[in-house]
Amino acid sequence: MAGSAGVREYRERLERVRNHIRANLDGPLNLDALADIACLSRFHWHRTYRGLTGETVWQTVKRLRLHRAASELANGSAPIEQIAERSGYTNPRAFSQAFKSDYGLSPLRYRAEGGHRRYDTLSWQEAEDMFDVRIEDHEPVVIAGMPHTGPYNDVGEAFDRFSSHMAANGGWEKSAGMAAICFSDPDITPPEEIRSLAGMALKPGETPPDGLESFTLPSGRYAVLTHKGPYGELAKAYHWFYGAWLAESGESAGSAPAVERYLNLPHNTAPTELLTEIHMQLG
């Protein structure tokens, strides 16, 4: 019991650090200040952080800043110099090198040629060979996790809370993989009111661990789009899936919310290799 309580306490401390990082990506982040937020020794705390999260503090900061930059490049029109500065780079060349190291293309080329551009086509004849879409029958699936209210791009905060909870309380043996439910349509819902649930799909017959909310995805026919690439491209993937693909397929969407299943994870997978399934219920 003491060991479990100790892990929970440390996870809660590091969760405060990650929340502070997410809320202050635009500003300078100081290791000593983060140590104070964690209430841990300034000399040793970063070793604790790496031991419990699997990455260094600066790897977390870089990953989150470049994730946001990729989303802005894929979905917006802000100047690259402005995106670089927001990402903590006063030198655009240094930003370009860091971005290319993780995403395989320079920021300029990523905006013009990145994987998100695949979804700009409206022609099914051109697109059908470019995407992995399948239709399958689902049994009911329970998703258990932590609720999140706010932009989908910020759902990582809820995943952090979920991971901390699971590390302290157990229950990973019930998991059939990481997943999220997207209850709101971001095109018609104010960003501050968007609702989602971040956690895991349960194995058949398992009950949700204590302390988590759950939602049961009903049985039925589902279209499943497998997206390969950064999470910042998912907004365009949704537009294509629920627009061009749905119209050309002759199908209609059901009333169940969209579900994302994550086949690998960003802390140990390059952004270009991330695999995400979007599950759409068919009517």
pLDDT per position as a tens digit, 25-53: 888 888 888 888 888 887 778 888 888 78
In the block, residue with structure tokens 């997207």? 182
Of 140-144, 230-234, 247-251, least confident by mean pLDDT is 247-251
Residue 124 pLDDT exceeds 50:
no
Count CA atoms within 13 Å of residue 283 on its CB side.
9
Residue ranges of domains in the chain, CATH in brackets: 2-111 (1.10.10.60), 132-281 (3.20.80.10)
In the block, residue with structure tokens 């019930």? 174
CB-count exposure of residue 255 (10 Å: 0-12, 13-18, 19+): exposed
Q: Among residues 132, 70, 103, 146, which one has the least CA distance to residue 269?
A: 103
Contact residues for 53 (Cβ-Cβ < 8 A; gap 6+): 14, 18, 60, 267
Query: In sequence order, what E strands does 56-140 have?
Result: 132-138
Token output for 112:
């013009």
Residue 61 pLDDT exceeds 50:
yes
Of 17-26, 39-48, 232-241, least confident by mean pLDDT is 39-48
Residues paired with residue 179 on neighbouring β-strands, in sequence order: 199, 261
Assessment of whether the complete model's pTM goes beyond 0.85: no
Q: What is the mean pLDDT of the chain?
A: 88
Question: What integer is the mean pLDDT of 79-94?
Answer: 91
DSSP 229: S
The H helix count followed by the E strand count for the chain is 11, 8
Length of the chain: 283
The whole-angstrom separation of Cα 145 and Cα 135 is 26
Q: Given this model, what pLDDT does residue 219 score? A: 96
Q: Given this model, what pLDDT does residue 36 score? A: 86
Q: What is the pLDDT of residues 177-204, one digit of tens each?
A: 999 999 998 888 898 999 999 999 999 9
Helix, strand, coil percentages (3-state) for the chain, rounded to 5, are: 50, 20, 30
Residue 164 pLDDT exceeds 90:
no
